[in-house]
Amino acid sequence: KQEVTQIPAALSVPEGENLVLNCSFTDSAIYNLQWFRQDPGKGLTSLLLIQSSQREQTSGRLNASLDKSSGRSTLYIAASQPGDSATYLCAVDDGGATNKLIFGTGTLLAVQP
């Protein structure tokens, strides 16, 4: 059974700092991995999608890496801003018939001005 873990559960950094969020999964047979952002009480916004054949994806100040063999992904945020404050969730698509997403419990990020 696929399990997804995210550490740390919460992180507080001063504005301008670079930071890394971690995601690990137990079964390397994944179809893809997605990173989402969730603001309090809101839906999920897809940030980056990494296919199983890819090693990384970049969008602006965000860079996500994927190492299937070790069951790990990282989300790197450069030059953090207060507007980056949110919960960040990673999810793996197990590639089965349903393409269901299996989520971690998220990392709550607070960027202090």
Identify the CA nearest to 36 among candidates 92, 96, 83, 110.
92
Residue 4 or 66: which CB sits closer to another protein? Answer: 4
CB of 16 to another protein, least distance (A): 29
Residue 69 or 98: which CB sits closer to another protein? Answer: 98
CB of 113 to another protein, least distance (A): 25
CB of 79 to another protein, least distance (A): 25
CA distances from 26 to 1, 42, 49 (A): 8, 28, 19
Q: Which residues contact 46 (CB under 8 A, 6 or more apart)?
A: 34, 35, 36
Residue 18 or 99: which CB sits closer to another protein? Answer: 99
Residue 18 or 51: which CB sits closer to another protein? Answer: 51
d(CA 95, CA 75) in angstroms, rounded, equals 22
Chain residues in the site for another protein (CB under 8 A) = 4, 31-32, 34, 36, 41-46, 49, 51, 89, 91, 93, 96-106
CA angle 78, 11, 90 (to 5 degrees): 75
CB of 69 to another protein, least distance (A): 21
